[in-house]
Amino acid sequence: MADIDVEAVLKKLTESEKVELLGGIDFWHTKSLPHHGVPSLRLSDGPNGVRGTKFFNGIPAACFPCGTSLGSTFNTSLLNLAGQTMGAEAKTKGAHVILGPTINMQRSPLGGRGFESLSEDPLLSGLAAAALVKGIQETGVQATLKHFVCNDHEHRRNAVHAIVTARALREIYCLPFQLAIAESKPGAIMTAYNGVNGTYCSENKELLEGILRKEWNWDGLIMSDWYGTYSTTEATNAGLDLEMPGPPRFRGELLKFNVSTDKVRQHVLDERVRSVLRFVKRCYTESGVPENAPEGVADTKETAELLRKIGIEGTVLLKNEQQVLPFKKEGKKTVVIGPNAKVATYHGGGSASLAAYYAVTPFEGITQKLGGKEPGYTVGCHSHKMLPLLGYICSSAASGGKNAGMTLRVYNDPPSVADRECTDCIDLRKTELLLVDYYNEKLKSPLWYADFEGEFVAEEDGTFEFGVVVCGTARLFVNGELVVDNATVQRQGEAFFGAGTVEEKGTIEVKKGERYNVKVEFASTPSSKLDGNKDTFGGGALRVGGILNIDPKVEIAKAAELANGADQVIICAGLNADWETEGYDRQVMNLPPPMDDLIAAVADAAPGRTVVVMQSGTPVRMPWVDKVAGVVQAWYGGNETGNIIADVLFGDANPSGKLSLSWPKRVEDNPAYLNYRSEGGRVLYGEDIYVGYRYYEKVKREVLFPFGFGLSYSDFELDGLEVVDDGKGEDGKVLVKVTVKNVGSLKGQEVVQVYVAPPKAGSGVARPKKELKGFTKVELEAGESKTVEVEMQKKYAASYWDEFRDKWCVEEGEYELVVGNSSVEVEGKTLKGSFKVGGTFWWLGL
């Protein structure tokens, strides 16, 4: 326990010690000053699970469903439990701080980290984040809201400024942070990589001191994103407390010198240090996590059950023609088709990635529902962006073929040195190695070498393709013959946060049943011929993939034939962590070809019997949607992915998820379509406040599936709307009461969504047709009715940002309430009421 007397310690610190506290010492830890009783903090990603301190060969952890799935639960009570479990996981990993949740906005379906955020709607994002933060901090572990603000795309994210109106900044992009701070008081906030209107976020005094600390009166720690600090004086004066990771680039001697010249005043330095000391005290006092604790696991039955429940409640049933679902477990011939069937696509890429305790594939989950009898299966097509990881079909060299994966042997000397000494030997199943935090005390310099070796047995005759991505250099040999050379000539790629090469490929012919030895000769980062940002990646990175090539036309025909003879057809389709990842955005909204052709062919072969299970974190085009009988949006479901999908498909769970973001028909329909990528060092937020459903409704543009939409195996009716205004004026609240009845035959859950429309006789300021201002989720037995309540603060329910006054404005007038189960008004399922504001007023703060 670090019961720090902040002011007393601050007075004792030398200037050098003060500066040392304002930067990390490595990727995950802050500086300790033991002689002053100040311990080190451990921080850990992240957004959908607590990885711990290792990108490379990390300790397994619980992987939660992705952010858009969490948002689609519309269940703040459940998200609070999720947060509690995240906090408990952090303690197991010896971490005091979780770097999440992520609450940036999905301006476009193409965002590389869209899966990581919660919603396109600021209220849903803010309240869902608040629930997660509350749960995390109930354990004493501190949460970190990120990324403040407008880190809404990945393209040149470190070198771009969001050009955004003050109104859009407040109503869309800052509002989730405002709501989460008001509701949950997070311990920390992380700044965004980008700038806003010409000033980088990590040195933006208007954002950090002006909005966060003064206007919202928030007193937590502000840290940079990793390598997201770009200055010494400006960032310190603006309010950035902690530069991460360490060792710092812009603090240290640079900051000491600038303090000595009064470019950074002493009282400003003290304020930054005070913030760090308070945060350290809070973390240790509340969490009870000891300094430098060992990292462990907590793979419990209770965690598994919660992950499964969260995933089920986030799963969205988008189409169920003629009640094709739920499928039958017995008496029907079931087949499973698709590239996502036998792979557990359980998380997106980047900071969200981690080594899961386990991961259930859809095929495994479905097989279990069928009593252990495997359904018919064929892959149909491939969907990879980079070749699938080779380690999953290999056996390691060190184990003599007993262990899955490949063996990494590390050396100080290159392969040309005879009898070189091996300094480390590790068996790895996942052949994607981010070595940024790899440590080996026997290595003598930053330039070191490794052999990565394994064997596989060919399952079929054909052409086998290998792929190598590297930060450093690498050559891949099969049975001693060079197949891929990613060392002699290198090309800059997007992988590994932009530090890696493109995937260089090579092929060999293989014979069924024959064994093949694969060896990769790797050299660390200093050997790289690229410029890029390789210097941030320590030992470097390596990705080794491989797969037997197939003829797509032949495989699609095979899949259609298989489906033709089946009663129940499940297509497991979608994206994966290669397509949706930190560091780059998708170029198109389409599925990887020829997946659309596969789905259409199978649907034609099995009309009325085909259901598509879509795994993606953001929308994809569905040109075949009218052909299939059912569509289930399963997102990235975490450890329990396959069980969650199977529970929904076979009716052991009644789906209750609602889309946390609109699903356009085409990417061209999206309001940010013309203004998404960085150009000339800026990205214009030209859609202004009209993000997501606010835009589609305003211009009457039809979407494939609307925000807030989701079907159930039950049906529900809303009735008896009552609106209670407490009459307290500017501090008043509006209580919405409505009776929900389950008129179906199964127990289920419904989400009551409350939207507010502005007065018809307003000031002339353009406003959305309506905006989500409250929601609640209710569970009902078949035939059961319950009256539910949604309480809203009037000032939040009715405000817009007045750019003349730089304040929130609540206009006088009558506001319409639209109550339903999605953003679309449906006759017979939508109720309407109203409340009044007696006089216009303005406000600031929380």
329-338 pLDDT, tens per residue? 999 999 999 9
The sign of the CA dihedral 279, 285, 287, 289 is positive
488-530 pLDDT, tens per residue? 999 999 888 888 999 999 999 999 999 999 999 999 999 999 8
Q: Which pLDDT score, from 0 to 100, does residue 145 have? A: 98
Q: Please check the confidence at residue 378 and state whether its pLDDT lies above 70.
A: yes
- Structural tokens at position 276: 């760090």
Q: Are 782 and 799 in contact (CB under 8 A)?
A: no
CA distances to 228, 497, 589 from 678, in Å: 17, 17, 18
Q: Which pLDDT score, from 0 to 100, does residue 460 have? A: 92
Using the structure block, give the residue that is written with the tokens 């639209």. Answer: 818
**Across the strands, what pairs with 741?**
717, 785
Q: Please check the confidence at residue 1 and state whether its pLDDT lies above 70.
A: no
CA distances to 6, 131, 177, 182, 596 from 218, in Å: 18, 18, 11, 9, 49
Separation CA 566–CA 600 (nearest Å): 16
Separation CA 322–CA 325 (nearest Å): 8
φ and ψ at residue 147, rounded to 5 degrees: -115, 125
Which is catalytic among the residues 121, 225, 241, 437?
225
Cα 97-99-100 angle, rounded to 5 deg: 120
Separation CA 467–CA 545 (nearest Å): 5
Biggest CA-to-CA distance, the chain: 87
- Structural tokens at position 334: 């079931």
Separation CA 665–CA 678 (nearest Å): 24
List, in order, residues 6 or more apart from 367 with CB less than 8 Å away.
373, 374, 375
3-state secondary structure 769-817: CCEEEEEEEEEECCCCEEEEEEEEEHHHHHEEEECCCCEEEECCEEEEE
Would you report the helix, strand and coil content of the chain in percent, each value rounded to 5? 30, 25, 45
433-442 pLDDT, tens per residue? 999 889 899 9
Burial 303-330 (b: 16+ CB within 10 A, else e): bbebbbbbbbbbbbbbbbeeebbbbebe
397-422 pLDDT, tens per residue? 777 777 889 999 999 999 999 999 99
319-356 pLDDT, tens per residue? 999 999 999 999 999 999 999 999 999 999 988 888 89
Q: Which pLDDT score, from 0 to 100, does residue 113 have? A: 96
Average model confidence (pLDDT) across the chain: 96
AA letter at 350: G
Q: What is residue 846's three-state secondary structure?
A: coil
Mean pLDDT over residues 241-246, rounded?
96
Q: Please check the confidence at residue 186 and state whether its pLDDT lies above 70.
A: yes
Q: Which pLDDT score, from 0 to 100, does residue 533 have? A: 62
Q: Are 545 and 387 in contact (CB under 8 A)?
A: yes
To the query of whether residue 225 is one of the catalytic residues in this protein, the response is: yes
Mean pLDDT over residues 252-270, rounded?
96
Q: Please check the confidence at residue 534 and state whether its pLDDT lies above 80.
A: no
Q: Which pLDDT score, from 0 to 100, does residue 403 have? A: 82
Q: Please check the confidence at residue 764 and state whether its pLDDT lies above 80.
A: no
Cα–Cα nearest to 128, from 81, 189, 76: 76
Q: With pLDDT > 70 as the criterion, what percentage of the chain qualifies?
A: 99
Separation CA 279–CA 218 (nearest Å): 13
- Structural tokens at position 91: 């303690």
Q: Which pLDDT score, from 0 to 100, does residue 531 have? A: 78
**Across the strands, what pairs with 522?**
450, 474
Mean pLDDT over residues 581-588, rounded?
93
600-632 pLDDT, tens per residue? 999 999 999 999 999 999 999 999 999 999 999
CA dihedral 627, 628, 634, 636 (to 10 degrees): -50
Domains and CATH numbers, the chain: 6-287 (3.20.20.300), 303-384+552-698 (3.40.50.1700), 385-548 (2.60.120.260), 716-843 (2.60.40.10)
